[in-house]
Homo-oligomer: A and B are copies of this chain.
């Protein structure tokens, strides 16, 4: 089966937006073994959208479009596709009702819905709507002339859940068997090193397959099996997963998780342990990552953002003399942050982060120097990291990831230093 991806949006042609949607669509298609030979990007221009669709429908079984479904006059993907298939656009009554409800809920009660908003619920005749619970413009599926056209919204926070919850079931129903996959997640090893270690084994496999990825300062390997049924797929994957986990020991922290932050937060909730955070250079990012998980209030007793020396003293009582003697970015101050925030909040664990995220230094430490500390009632662990050359946002992200790694190692009773090299 062959698919084509057509991305619609002048912002893509101008380069002001990077086309991450096409990659998201392609990843999902490849999970189902559907080949993509062409991707096309066109602007908000009906003639060129139509031309792209006409060409694609001559060579693909599935066309997936991204973008151009919204309420503005630039949003003309559905019009162009209707025209390419010589179909009228018709108002979908159910989606209209839903849109009007959304409008009311957003406190526009006093304001009549504007006509351009209704354009979003006009679909090419014969299409089935795909409800968009993450935005206002529904997607839709058109089956015509032997081709399936799936139209999806452009904003990443809408298309990602739409792919998962609306498109995945459609693709799954097309395939004869099932494609199942698991992800194995790593912290403490770089992607190229992981890939190097895995390469021989990876190349020896055809089904299941292995594919390595890197994101957000961690790595993952996707194991994918194609089988007649889900049980067979699981049975095929089990020994592969065991072998991969065996190769990396406890650098593999978990499976099928969005990432180390969520994994560790859920681990805390599961074990009923609590945390308090004291953040300097990460400025709240660690606490934010914990509270990204619904229900995190049971794990996070509280946090302080002590970006300045004054805040370190006022909120936690870190002695000004210590900061003066050792510097705000120091092993000793990191120890105090974790210890004192834990005591202040009465939590099981305290985490402290202090460092130089850059771009400017303090005249003593190199930019990228970070101390991450973890305290329990008996002792304090500290990791000193040199994360220079990664840029401010990455230094902050790595610092948070190290904090989560130390936490999960402490909770699981593992070697505290095994992942400290990354």
Residues of A at the B interface (CB closer than 8 Å) are 10-20, 22-30, 36-43, 45, 48, 70-74, 102, 105-107, 114, 116-117, 134, 136, 155, 157, 191-193, 195-196, 199, 203, 211-215, 222, 277, 279, 281-288, 290-292, 294-297, 300-308, 310-311, 314-315, 344-346, 357-360, 386, 388-389, 391-394, 421
9 contacts between A and B (CB under 8 A): A13-B26, A15-B30, A107-B386, A157-B394, A284-B291, A294-B357, A295-B360, A302-B310, A314-B346
* A213 and B16 contact, CB distance less than 8 A: yes
Complex Cα–Cα for A300 and B214 (A)? 33
Distance between Cα atoms of A400 and B301 in the complex (Å): 21
In the complex, are the beta carbons of A308 and B314 less than 8 A apart?
Answer: no
* Residue from B23, B203, B211, B305 within 8 A of A304 (CB atoms): B305
Is the CB–CB distance between B305 and A287 below 8 Å?
yes
- Asked if A305 and B283 sit within 8 Å, CB to CB, the answer is no
User: Is the Cβ of B13 less than 8 Å from the Cβ of A72?
Assistant: no
Residues of B within 8 A of A357 (CB): 294
Q: Given A195-B116, A203-B73, A302-B307, does the pair A48, B37 have CB atoms closer than 8 Å?
A: yes
Min CB–CB distance A69 → chain B (angstroms): 12
Q: Are A19 and B16 neighbours in the complex by a CB distance under 8 Å?
A: no
Contact at B14–A192, with CB atoms within 8 Å?
Answer: no
CA distance A296 to B394 in the complex (A): 17
Q: Within the assembled complex, what's the spacing in Å between the Cα atoms of A29 and B279?
A: 41
CB closest chain-B residue, reference A387: B106
- The answer, among B27, B48, B314, B358, for a CB contact under 8 Å with A38, is B48
Measured between beta carbons, the chain B residues less than 8 angstroms from A359 are: 294
> Which chain B residues border A386 with CB–CB below 8 Å?
107
Verify A284–B302 contact, CB threshold 8 A: no
Chain multiplicity (copies): 2
Please tell me which one of the listed residues B105, B196, B296, B391 contacts residue A307 in the complex, with CB atoms under 8 A apart.
B296
Question: Which residue of B37, B195, B305, B358 contacts A303 across the interface (Cβ within 8 Å)?
Answer: B305
Establish whether residues B195 and A71, one from each chain, have CB atoms under 8 Å apart when the complex forms.
yes
Q: Are B43 and A14 in contact (CB-based, < 8 A)? A: no
A23 and B30 form a contact (CB under 8 A):
no
Interchain CB contact under 8 A, A15 and B19 = no
Which single residue of chain B is at the shortest CB-CB distance from A22? B19
- Which residues of the partner chain B approach A14 to less than 8 Å between Cβ atoms? 26-27, 30, 36
- Distance between Cα atoms of A340 and B26 in the complex (Å): 50
Residues of B within 8 A of A222 (CB): 16
In angstroms, Cα B195 to Cα A185, docked, is 43
Please name all residues of chain B whose beta carbon is closer than 8 Å to the beta carbon of A290 when the two chains form the complex. 283
Q: Give Cα distance in the complex from A69 to B345, angstroms.
A: 47
User: Which residue on chain B has the smallest CB distance to residue A190?
Assistant: B106
Q: Bound complex: CA of A208 vs CA of B278, how far in Å?
A: 49
A214 to B158, CA, bound (A): 13
B37 touches A73 (CB 8 A): no
Given A13-B26, A25-B15, A291 and B301 touching (CB < 8 A)?
Answer: no
Residue of B nearest to A193 (CB): B114
Contacts of A70 in B (CB 8 A): 191-192
In the complex, given contacts A40-B41, A73-B199, A116-B196, what are 16 additional A-B residue pairs having Cβ atoms less than 8 angstroms apart? A15-B28, A18-B23, A39-B42, A70-B191, A71-B192, A72-B199, A73-B195, A74-B211, A105-B389, A114-B192, A114-B196, A283-B290, A294-B360, A295-B360, A297-B307, A302-B314
Taking CB as reference atom, which chain B residue is nearest A35? B13
Which of B12, B297, B389 is the one whose CB lies under 8 Å from A106?
Answer: B389
Q: Contact between B18 and A20 (Cβ–Cβ < 8 Å)?
A: yes
Q: Are B285 and A305 touching (Cβ within 8 A)?
A: no
From B102, B292, B314, A393 is in contact (CB under 8 Å) with B292
List chain B residues, Cβ under 8 A from A117: 192
Given B72, B212, B307, B360, which contacts A291 in the complex, CB threshold below 8 Å?
A: B307
Assembly CA distance A77 to B261 (angstroms): 33
